[in-house]
Structure 1
Amino acid sequence: MTSILRGVRPLDVVLATAMTALGVLLMVFNTQGSDDGTRIGSTSWLMVPVFAAATLPVLLRRHHLWAVLGVTAAALAVHDVAFGWVVRCGAGLPLSFALAYAAGRLLTDRRRSVAAVVAVVGIQFLVLVRDSAAGLDIIPVTAVIAAVFWGVGLLVQRRTHHVAAPVPATPAETLV
């Protein structure tokens, strides 16, 4: 167990806890039904752990980003099929933005990084396809927001790489 969590930083724990808490809160609201006319297809308490299975993997994004994307997508697909129309966007979209940032920040191979952000848009599709509050109409906007988060991640990666790179020694004759 400790080998899986090796390299997990305190900020990773904060992010995973916040995303999971947000998801749990939203799923609890879904189990209460809807007073405002929002379509709720299921009020099963099983929504809570299945959605948590989509958010908790973000804890391991630094070392296993592709696995995190796969588990998150699989959990969301199961959630869509098992529970139908509920509100997922309030927790699923912030999660997708965090994953887009991670794709830009953590993946140094540009093709893999682009592929990861495409996978994030796929995750957004799974969040929105049976979402009672937002729906698929907003996916162009959420995809652009994900691209912005990805770009910020690339920028941070580039700046971090430049700071971490050793400064070449200046020849003595150029100092005179």
Structure 2
Amino acid sequence: MKTFEWTVVDSDIGPLLLAATGGGLMNVVFHADAAVRGTALRRLGARFGVEPAGAAPGSAALTEPIRQLAEYFAGRRQEFELPLDWSLTSGFNREVLRELAEGVPYGTVVGYGDLAVRVGQPGAAQAVGAAMGANPLPLVVPCHRVVESGGGLGGFGGGVETKRRLLALEGVLPEPLF
């Protein structure tokens, strides 16, 4: 039985639910209002066979992720240096997400097809898209940096407007005029 701690932090893109185990950050959930938070915590609790406990203020497992995310949104951090618990992903998805985390730096983008080639699966662009949609660690494992080969933004679990704002923060897209 694995236990986890969680909290919700405010960010420039709305509330984020962060969940961590002793092994590291394991989940980031966008738009973490009460309903989204409840669903995410029930899902995590069922996955690990535990009842989700209340938020853990000052949690040692969450202090560093909270600090680094604040630095990212303030424009003072371009790379996350956090232990990650990959237990919510496996197989091809994990391979793709690790390549994304290690090989697509701040301020750059990669196409779905290009990422498929990087993991030795040319022609698996749709599978890469599915891996992005199942990413349990968005922001930290930057699926917002994966775009369509024709230049379109593509989809995003946090919503296309959130993706646009993150890419603007990183200087890939211009800031909206209004």
Structure (1 or 2) with the larger CA radius of gyration: 1
Normalised to the residue count of structure 1, the TM-score between the two structures is 0.31
* Higher share of residues assigned helix: 1
* Higher share of residues assigned strand: 2
Instruction: Give the number of the structure with larger relative contact order, counting CA–CA contacts within 8 Å between residues 6 or more apart.
Output: 1
